[in-house]
Amino acid sequence: MRNYPHNSPEAAARIVALVLISDGNVCRSEIDTLRDMEVEQELGIAPGAFARVVRDLCEDLLMGAHSNRSMTAHLDENMLTSMMSAISAKPLQHKVLRLAAAAAQADRHLAEAEARVMASASRQWTPKPMTVP
């Protein structure tokens, strides 16, 4: 898996891309939604860079999918945690969640794989309650 700088636009775009491809079916409505939301401008990446991040993610996932039928079948919670931990800036987390949720719901069907990635992000990025001794 490629390493992106912490809180980088590419690290954020990779999580949106993961939600986009996680169910194995990228619909035109999902792409149109992200385009209409100006995903590249929102995340601060150059025009055309989101497609490159999606392609790079697919390549990285295919490297680990040699024995599986699905690119994302081997993504365990540790790998998802690692990807989510690359984003710690709250405003960027909110952008990623907003963009990813819009893409996931664009086809009017939230697939289990999409929900799994979104749940992982929410778990990672939701503040934990403080315990008082």
The 10s digit of each residue's pLDDT in 35-54 is: 999 999 999 999 999 999 99
Give tens-digit pLDDT for 104-120.
999 898 989 899 999 99
Give tens-digit pLDDT for 52-95.
999 999 998 887 655 555 555 557 788 898 999 999 999 999 99
Give tens-digit pLDDT for 94-104.
999 999 999 99
39-74: b (≥16 Cβ within 10 Å) or e: bbebbebeeebbeebbebbbeebeeebeeeeebbee
Phi–psi pair at 24, nearest 5 degrees: 80, 5
Rounded Cα–Cα distance for residues 86 and 107 (Å): 28
